[in-house]
Structure formats: C-alpha cells, structure tokens
Structure 1
Amino acid sequence: MITTLSTSSTSEELNVILQRDVIVKPNFISENEEATLLKEIDPHLSRIKYMSSHWDDAIQNYREIERKNWNANNKMTIDKLRQHTLECYPTPLVLLPLTHCLDLSGDGEIRPHVDSVRATGLLSTISVVKKKEPVELETAEESRRVVLRRTETNGHGKNCPILVRIFYSTEIKSIPMSLYTSGRMPKNEIQINTWPSAKLKDLAREVRYACREANKRGARLIFSSVYVAPSKNFKRKPLGVVITGHSSSLNKEQGSPEADDSEVRLNANNFKVGDFIEVHVMRSSPSRRLRTDQAIVPESDFRTVNRRF
C-alpha cells in the first residue's frame, strides 16, 4: 500500500507539497530486514566520527558511507528499493551504483536544501532506527511527530522546481552521445533550478552569463534535450533556437533563417524531469540583419539557485 504523507501543520502550502510530491510506503521492509541492514552497516559507521557540518551546510551532526556490495539478504532489500524507484518514475532511469547510508546523531539535522546534481530527478530512501522512536518532522509553525520507521519515502517533484543540467558547446561538432553513455559529462556545464514551464529565453540568459560567444549579437543558441530512450540509449531531440538580439518568431514563418524560439517553453517539447539540455552556440553570420530593440540579457522570470561556470 502506498500512502501520501500528511501532517497537522497549519501551513496549507506545506500540506499541499507533502501530499502531492511525497509518497510514503509503510512497512516497506520487515523488522528482520531492518535488523539485517543495521547489522551490516553499523560496524562501518561506528568507526566514523559524527561531523558537525556538511560541505554545503545541508546536514549537521552526521556520518555517512556509500556501499556498492551487500550480503545476499541485504542485496535483495536494496534491489527491492531500486526496483520500486524505477516503477515510480515516468521515464527510464540510470540509477547510481552506490547506496548512500546516512546516520544522524541525537541532535542531528537535515536542513531544507537543493540537493546535489548527482541526486537530481528522484530520491528514494528507507528509514531505519535502532529504537522504536518516532521521527520528528518540524515546520516553522509547530512540531509534528510522525512514525516513519521501516518506510520507503519517494519524492516525486512533479510540480516543484526542478534541477536542470545544461551543457553548452562552441565547437563545430555536436557533443558526442558516447559521453553520456560512458557516464562522463561534457565539461562546460551550468546547473539551475527552474520549472518545466520555463521559456528558452530564460535558459539562454543563463548560458550568456557563462559563455562569452553566446553574448555576441546574432549568436544562435541551438537547444536540444538529451534523454534516455526506451532502448536505454541516449537520444537527442531539438527544442528550439534562440538568437541573441532577436525577438520571438511566433509571428514568423516556421523554419525561417531569422526564426527565434525565445517564447517556447520546455514542457511544450515534452521535456521530462531528469533530461539534460544541450546548447550549441554558433557565431553570427555577418550577412544576417539583426534587430536591436531587445536587450541581450532580458529579465528572467525564474529563480536561479545554483550556477557553476
């Protein structure tokens, strides 16, 4: 049985987010499976001191390990979690090979934060405790004690801001698909938090902050999405073209050499959470006449949380 997490919080916004974007599956594992997991993990965690702060200040008083190999019984439990994660996601996933094990001290805390790009898309967790004590869920208004023992929690993030990885290139050739297949990523990357309804002009603005060539009037920013096809291979799909210094081409003939898709939204092109975005920056053509009535870096209607140049 899968249920949504509910609280008695007076914050209507919090209740909506929890009920919409978090799924809790009670008794996802048995008490015996819980004990077996702890028996394997504890000897490794006990040799590590609790750390007072995390590198991005997201966690306090914690210790952690990552494991790839498990004993036979625990491998079945981890495989069950991985399979359930795949079933909850609308598109094919490439799961990380390592399982992250996090232990909080009695006064440990996980603060609200935007997670690492390594965990973008979907995060599934199993809550295990040594004692039958409830986990305390705190809000700004009050504290609500919710028993989460042996549950599997799954964050959907359907309508919440999403973390998008944008890879840009000024090379003549496109970024080879073999990079993604091998697990490597292109070197020129921007990470932003936005919504599926973001316009290409918003993403173009972020690219212009990072890439000097994209700032030149007449530069063509060719957007594509990179996704995992049902065949498990990475595929590329065009999203549109934004031309620095041009206005939208919604009133122009499709396919025109002066076409600009600034107003096109990500979700209009079936963009999915977890897809990558590629931007191929091409230099302007001297023979092309350009409009000058639009700012090169327009005001953005989405919030940038993290950039890496």
Structure 2
Amino acid sequence: MQNNIVILLLSTCPLLLRVFTKVSGHHSQADFAVRGKEPKDEVQIYTWMDATLRELTDLVKEVAPEARRRDALLSFAFVYPTKTGHFTVKEVGKTFSYPNARRPDDGSKALGTLSFEIGDYLDVAIL
C-alpha cells in the first residue's frame, strides 16, 4: 500500500483582519488614537487579500444582528496610520445586507484591489 502526500503551496498567506463595527456611522480617528485602546466592538477574522466586501458582509452579518436587517447598508472603511503616526479612516465601499439587481453595490471589490495593507483595520458602519 502506497501513501500519497499532497503539499499545497499557497501564493498568498491568510491574514488576521481586525474588524470594528458600529451602528449609525464609522468610528472616529480619535477612537484609534491610542494603540491597545481601540473600540471594544472588535471581531477578528482570518481571511485573504482577495476576500471581497460581499464575503466580509456575510461574516459581519453573523456577529452583528443590525447588519441582518433587510434594509441595512454596510459602509467599509480602512483605518491606517499616516506618515505622521496618526490614524485616518478612509471609506472604500458600501454593500447592502441583501443585494439585488436594482441596488448595485461594491460587493465584488476585494481587499487587495482596494489598497488594503496588512496591519490596517477595517471599520464597518451599519446604516
């Protein structure tokens, strides 16, 4: 009897994505001003750079009941340090909780194509 060993080589490694959610709007830059004192509403997700905003929407819906509403709109923003060391919050796309052909959104955009960098945070406003 012969044992076969399969080795899978990945061209990209998974990353730990720190996701912060907030109902009614994004967190402010001041909320991220001190390392270790980020907002408490954090979810950590292991994902890849090719994860789309639609895939991330579905993951947020699992942990945030407000995101499951039929009329919920999720606004995604990257949180990253500037050259001066202060954090900035930059909106990068929006998705509907339940998309349809009449309401196109940014669900097909991937983290990597939106200039996400390892170490950035993801802030999700549930509107």
TM-score of Structure 1 vs Structure 2, range by shorter chain: 0.7 to 0.9
TM-score (norm 2): 0.85
Aligned to 1:240: 93
TM-score (norm 1): 0.37
Structural mapping, 1:128-167, within 5 Å:
159-167=12-20
Distance 1:175 1:248, change over 3 A: farther
Distance 1:11 1:230 in 2: 44
Q: Does 1:210 align with 2:63?
A: yes
Q: Which has the larger radius of gyration?
A: 1
Aligned to 1:192: 45
Q: Does 1:277 align with 2:119?
A: no
Which stretches of structure 1, 4 residues or longer, exceed 3 Å deviation after superposition?
Answer: 10-13
Number of residue equivalences: 122
Distance 1:229 1:208 in 2: 30
Structural mapping, 1:1-309, within 5 Å:
13=8, 159-170=12-23, 172-183=24-35, 184-247=37-100, 258-282=103-127
Structure 1 unaligned blocks of 5 or more? 1-9, 18-157, 250-257, 283-309
2:21·2:41 contact (CA, 8 Å) conserved in 1? Answer: yes
Q: More strand per residue: 1 or 2?
A: 2
AA aligned to 1:174 is H
Structure 2 unaligned blocks of 5 or more? none
Distance 1:161 1:206 in 2: 16
- The Cα of 1:267 is off from its aligned counterpart by 0.7
- The Cα of 1:193 is off from its aligned counterpart by 0.5
1:248·1:263 contact (CA, 8 Å) conserved in 2? Answer: no
Q: More helix per residue: 1 or 2?
A: 1
AA aligned to 1:229 is T
AA aligned to 1:276 is Y
Distance 1:271 1:247 in 2: 26
- The Cα of 1:173 is off from its aligned counterpart by 4.5
- The Cα of 1:174 is off from its aligned counterpart by 2.9
- The Cα of 1:186 is off from its aligned counterpart by 1.0
SS of residue matched to 1:263: coil
Residue-by-residue CA offset, 1:98-147 (whole Å, 9 max, x unaligned): xxxxxxxxxxxxxxxxxxxxxxxxxxxxxxxxxxxxxxxxxxxxxxxxxx
Distance 1:259 1:224 in 2: 18
